Amino acid sequence: MKNPIPYTLHANMLLIANLGVLVLGKPKIGKSELSLALLDRGHQLISDDATELFTKEKQLYAQCPVKLRNYLHTNALGLIQIDRIFPRHTIPHHPQQVDLILEIKPACDIPMPSDPFKPVTITKEILGKALPTFVLPSTTPVMLALLVEILVKNQPLRSTPCNDTV
Amino acid sequence: MQRHRLKIINKLGLHARAAVKLVNTASRYQSEILLLYNNREINAKSVMNLMIIGAPKGAEIELLVTGDDEVEALKAVTHLINDKFGEGE
């Protein structure tokens, strides 16, 4: 059975310990930096910035828009090709089930948890599918060491032979 | 919330350079600015989002603007699009 036409949302999609995690948050909140840190820890990025979603047999599935495959963008580092920085990373191209949602918000916008022994959890509905959503604060400062390492690795000077501009 | 439908009228459609101008304009405002087209909900402040929109000349898009400065934000984005992103054609 062919997959339904997907709806695209502004979101990142990751595979963390075999669970499909959709990351929501306003622009510049840190979704892409978070994704880089998780990539660095060995998890998988399905899509950065835009995620195609559809429901099938009452489950929500996510995939990367074809044009954005292997790309990640942050203002600090510009455009990054994931396979150049994380050569051992494999991006599954088939749709992944979304198991939970993370919403990144400014810390001041997050309510106090009703139960301090549990993370702040709400339920969000996407395309009619309700999923547990954990609300996490946007943290500063960023993991600067990781960003610097990726910035340097991303420079074309290292990988192009016979580069006259050096 | 402000809603407004309009057409992309410049010759090259919502291509990369136009998308960057849109991001720069949208990012000046505090409001959330969404662009709806072809089953895609595009956040106008995010450049990668706009790269996949593929809206050609003649495409009808819908703008959804929510926030304290939504009136000014919608006006600025609409003006940019109707001005053909300053491209002249």
Residue to test with chain B: of A46, A49, A69, A77, most B Cβ within 10 A: A49
How many CB pairs below 8 A link A and B? 42
- Side chain identity at residue A2, one-letter code: K
Decide if B52 and A50 are in contact by the 8 Å CB cutoff: yes
Q: What percent of chain B has pLDDT over 70?
A: 100
DSSP structural state of residue B47:
H
Q: Name the DSSP letter for residue A118.
A: S
Contact partners, residue A2, CB within 8 Å, separation at least 6: none
| Interatomic CA distance for residues A65 and A51, integer angstroms | 7
Which pair of tokens denotes residue A35? 């994704």
Interface confidence (ipTM) of the complex: 0.89
Query: Would you call A142 helix, strand, or coil by DSSP?
Result: coil
Q: What is the mean pLDDT of chain A?
A: 89
Q: What is the pTM of this model?
A: 0.90
- Count of residues for chain B? 89
Q: How close, in Å, is residue A112 to chain B by CA atoms?
A: 24
**Under the phi-then-psi rule, with left for phi > 0, alpha for psi from -120 to 50, and beta for the rest, what region is B54?**
left
Region label for B24, one of left (φ > 0), alpha (ψ between -120 and 50) or beta (otherwise): alpha
What pLDDT, on a 0 to 100 scale, did the predictor assign at position B56? 94
CA distances from B73 to A108, B16, B28, B37, B57 (A): 25, 21, 8, 19, 23
Query: Tell me, what's the pLDDT at B24?
Result: 96
Chain A: closest CA distance from residue B32 (Å): 8
Q: What is the dihedral of CA A89, A38, B41, B12, to 10 degrees?
A: -50
CB within 8 Å: A50 and B42: yes
How far, in Å, CA of B65 to CA of A124, rounded?
A: 21
What is the average per-residue pLDDT within B32-49?
95
pLDDT of residue A158: 53
| Confidence at A140, pLDDT banded by 50, 70, 90 | low
Cα separation, A160 vs B12, whole angstroms: 33
Mean pLDDT of the A140-147 span? 74
The answer to whether the CB of B61 falls within 8 A of the CB of B41 is no
Angle (CA) B1 A60 A138, round 5° = 55
Q: Which of B25, B35, B51 to mutate to test the interface with A (most CBs of A within 10 A)?
A: B51
